[in-house]
Amino acid sequence: MTNILIGKKIKQIKIADDKQAILFCCEDGDVKALCDAECCSNTWIEHIELPALGFPALVVAVDNLDLPGSDYNHPEYDCLQVYGCKITTDKGDIVIDYRNSSNGYYGGDLLWPDTPGYRMLEAQNISTENWADVVGDI
């Protein structure tokens, strides 16, 4: 499946203060990705790595990453799962590292506007969407 960001030029990235959503400010309009958590779990953005050569940056690919670090005996959560997304641009990679905590039966995801279920999630998403600029790796 092609991601909605491919071919867009990102000018800036913003993150919700609750880390439940990320906003890509593009030359032709904003694209909002939402954290999705299945029943009885919580998903949030943990870290964002910005492109080495800055913005504006043209998106050429978007891929899910298999990241190490999931812990099914985590001291703070029953289960902590680690996920990632790599956005390849002409100025370097943007890497989004996100987490899901649950009892081990559920997982999480980062949903894009062209993903099935996004509109339903958007209506249910509890994100504050109080946006803050991402000015360096967080």
> What's residue 67's pLDDT?
86
pLDDT tens digit string along 117-136?
777 766 666 788 999 999 87
Taking the domains of the chain in order of start, what are their residue ranges? 9-128
Find out whether 5 and 63 touch, Cβ atoms under 8 Å.
no
- What's the mean pLDDT in 18-41? 92
Can you tell me the distance from the alpha carbon of 128 to that of 15, in angstroms, rounded to the nearest whole number?
10
Q: What is the pTM of this model?
A: 0.89
Can you tell me the distance from the alpha carbon of 100 to that of 119, in angstroms, rounded to the nearest whole number?
21
What rounded mean pLDDT belongs to the chain? 89
> What's residue 98's pLDDT?
94
Can you tell me the distance from the alpha carbon of 25 to that of 86, in angstroms, rounded to the nearest whole number?
17
> What's residue 105's pLDDT?
77
Tell me which of 31 and 115 has the higher pLDDT. 31
